[in-house]
Amino acid sequence: MDHRNIFVVGLNSFNRERLEQLRGARNYRFHGVIEPEEVYETDFFPIEDMLSRAEAQLRAFEGPVDAIAGYMDFPVSTMLPLLCERFGTRTTSLESLLKCEHKYWSRLAQREVIGNYIPRFTAFDPFDDRALSRIGEGGLYFPFFIKPIKSSGSRLGFRIDNPEDFTAAVKRLREDIGLISEPFNYVLDQANLPQTVRDVDGGYCMAEEIIGGWQCTVEGYVYQGKVVPYGIVDSIRYPHVLSFFYYRYPSRLPEYIQDKMRELTDTIMTHIGYDNAAFNVEYFWDEVQNRIWLLEINTRISQSHCDLFEKVDGVSNQQVTVDLVLGKLPDMPSRHGEFEVAGKFFYRVFFVDAVVTRVPSEEEIAALQQEFPGTLIALQVEVGSKLSALLEQDSYSFALAYIWMGADSDEALEDNYRRLADKLLFEFEDVVG
């Protein structure tokens, strides 16, 4: 049998190792397109140049280009439809993807079919000196949340409780929003957009009613028009802050709430016209009001969840993406893994800033991974790292390490993490000047 050539944008060693363990992987050859540091370790995304270089690499390949895939958010997610169209490979359309990733267009589409499950919202220009009053004219009052029309992770997202908060947040937005808005606008220029959306480009922001509760993510895919949610992951935050503590799979939400979230997911993804690609949808369940809120739609699997599915179900959900790009119906197993529950923990500090002077050694990490079987520790800093210079951080803390663990119960999972975290030794010194 001939091998199938699958090109992965931003392929790194971490993902290559996982991909080569998937079912059927002996029949595949995985090739990287665009160096991983260009999408993982930078705030600079020259997307037009990246697309040009990716196309040149693919055309120079001596063999068939059977599939093009990716697991990252912007810019990788938005590059895929453009590359796949040029090479005739499978993915969803650019317009259906943008109905998920352009936060204003996404809310407009959601309001058409599931309006009772989304917050009040309005778009605003952060460079407009009257932006705050215009937000009020749109029916939003303190507190509310603001974020760019297109962002990555929790970057440049702020809770606004008063005018001073808004002033400080807008200052940050004006300084940094161009890093994503300029390349995102290039992508928008390639799409067929309604005028109401074209008028709200990547330089705009969203203001939304505050929503909250039990947060979770529905992982799913669409294959030939059929929406298939295959797992729900809980997102648990540190007390009293917005920063994530850990992701837990499977969800402990009441089954009727999970069923409703699956139904809402089917409705919105069908309405958008998303097809032949993976996705995940983030929700809140407000337990007090017994109300579900849709937070946002992501046009990819979550890399953070790959190890969780592998530990509990037996296969990383990267299997879904690979099957889809090859035109196959995904076949995710259920509960065939080694553990009953799994989590990805975020080891964080809540400093204003600092410089890292010590990190756990390779020997210390290896000993902890042996002490807690199934554990994977991935440091996000090194000696000399300045916390404020770290990429992909939220606005309130810094993640020093990611820790994936499995256990036989929720209680054992958290207990194991706390015992492990007590043995992870980092040291810091104050930033001078």
Same domain membership, residue 361 and residue 330 = no
Average confidence (pLDDT) over 14-36: 93
**Do 173 and 227 fall within a single domain?**
no
Q: Tell me whether residue 186 is in a domain.
A: yes
Pick from 425, 380, 418: which is nearest to 400 by CA?
380
In a domain, 94, yes or no: no
Q: Do the domain assignments include residue 111? A: no
Given this model, what pLDDT does residue 222 score? 98
Percent over 90 (pLDDT), the chain: 87
Q: Both 384 and 421 in a single domain?
A: yes
Can you tell me the distance from the alpha carbon of 409 to that of 339, in angstroms, rounded to the nearest whole number? 9
Mean of pLDDT values over 64-82: 94
Number of alpha helices (DSSP H) and beta strands (DSSP E) in the chain: 15, 17
Task: Give yes or no: residues 305 and 418 share one domain.
Answer: no
Q: Is 110 inside any structural domain?
A: no
Confidence of residue 394 (pLDDT cuts 50, 70, 90): confident
Q: What is the CATH number of the domain that holds 386?
A: 3.90.1170
Digit-coded pLDDT (tens) for 352-366? 899 999 999 999 999
Does residue 1 carry a pLDDT above 60? no
Whether 317 and 386 share a structural domain: no
Q: What ranges in 296-409 are assigned the alpha helix state H?
A: 306-313, 318-325, 362-371
Q: What is the mean pLDDT of the chain?
A: 94
Whether residue 278 sits in one domain with residue 189: no
Distance set, CA 101 to CA 138, 155, 321 (Å): 22, 15, 18
Q: What is the pLDDT of residue 210?
A: 95
For position 199, what pLDDT does the model report? 96
Task: Determine the average pLDDT of the residues in 151-161.
Answer: 81
Residues 209-231 pLDDT 10s: 999 999 999 999 999 999 999 99
Domain end, chosen from 286, 316, 337, is at 337
Q: Answer yes or no: is 399 within a domain.
A: yes
pLDDT digit string, tens, across residues 305-352: 999 999 999 999 999 999 999 999 998 999 999 999 999 999 999 888
Q: The CATH number of the domain where 294 resides is what? A: 3.30.470.20
Domain encompassing residue 396: 341-433
Task: Answer yes or no: do 78 and 8 share one domain.
Answer: yes
Of 209, 227, 249, the domain-final residue: 209
Q: Which of 233, 248, 222, 226 is nearest to 282 (CA)?
A: 233
The whole-number pLDDT of residue 151 equals: 79
Report how many domains make up the chain. Answer: 4
pLDDT-based confidence at 14, cuts 50/70/90?
A: confident
Asked whether residue 99 is assigned to any structural domain, the reply reads: no
Domain membership of residue 97 (yes or no) is no
Question: Taking 70 as the threshold, does the pLDDT of residue 433 lie above it?
Answer: no
Are 230 and 308 contained in the same domain?
A: yes
User: Does the pLDDT at position 167 exceed 80?
Assistant: yes
Residue 256 lies in a domain: yes
Closest CA to 159 of 174, 135, 138, 143: 143
pLDDT at residue 393, as a whole number: 74
